[in-house]
Amino acid sequence: MNVAVPYPANPEVPQMTPSPQAPPGRELIVADVGGTFARVARVVVAAGRAPQILAYQKYACADHPDLASILSTFARDEHAGTEAAVVAIAGLLDGDTLVNANLPWPVSLERTRQASGLGSLALINDFEAVAYAVPYLHADGLSPLSGDHPHTFHWPALVLGPGTGLGAALRFEGGTRPVLASEFGHAALAPGNALEMEVLGLLMKRWPHVDNERVLSGSGLMNLYPCLCEIRGATPRWQTPEQLIAAAQAGDDALAVETLEVFCGWLGSLTGDLAIAFGARAVYLAGGISGHIEQFLRKGAFRERYLNKGVLGHVLRHVPVWRVDHGQLGVMGAAAWYASHHLD
């Protein structure tokens, strides 16, 4: 499906239906679970239509003992049926066990299904779900970071974003497998200048494998910042990403500002690498962190490093980058995944 449908201006406000009765279609529970928050919705899906959100809640993962607790709480509070659920979740399913570095608790597919009382449960990668949601984006909800043309869909489209971790996936126009999921957040971090090489050297003293998430994520900000403090001979002042971002936005802490600038430049370089590697014709930058640092993403370092790819820099000028609020992308994508796999 290549026709865009309206996307809410406020991504945390659900698209409620005006009627108390659910529209025709199949009802299920969908969720988007990251290391910090779980967004859960009751939706109706039908072939050839955009998923419709009937109820929506956002939970702090650390406030719950496991994923089953979140799903069963939502089902009880929203009077949702428990016949089927799809959870878009950060990580990779290995048999029955989710491999993840950022969740506050382990996840077993079958134990979660049983404990939450679900008839069926599917776990998919969180950015796989974001990629399934791309055709439902509306131009009003997109902000350009590179390129100055009005939004149109071009395929394949790369989706990536820093949140608690770093996710990435590729969306094709259609076919039997329209989305290629990825765990590129765990691929090796590539420095692009002398300062980044110095940061990488410090990080390698702590970890034998320094992946992209070690810098390009919320927790990565708190790895990058102390490294820059050590390099500049300063004492770290901030202990959380929220504190660091607030100090950088206020502009009265030079090292906080530099941390965000280095972060955006490094993220721009990785984005360009992925766009080249996958032959992307458009890029959508999501993730919880990107929304909080948009003013820094627009300062120039992101776009400069995105285009700094030698002879292919000219090619990337024709590959637009759009920032999109993460919000309900994951739950919409989880619903779209279910429709594509279970509806004619």
Segment 184-197, tens digit of pLDDT: 999 999 999 999 99
Per-residue pLDDT at 76: 97
Q: pTM here?
A: 0.90
CA angle, 341 then 67 then 73, to 5°: 100
Distance between CA 336 and CA 136 in Å, rounded? 9
Per-residue pLDDT at 15: 40
Per-residue pLDDT at 327: 79
Per-residue pLDDT at 102: 86
Segment 36-91, tens digit of pLDDT: 899 999 999 998 899 999 999 999 999 999 999 999 999 999 999 999 999 999 88
Residues of the chain where predicted confidence (pLDDT) is lower than 50: 1-20
**Three-class secondary structure of residue 220 per DSSP:** helix
Distance between CA 75 and CA 116 in Å, rounded? 9
Neighbours of 139 (CB within 10 A): 11
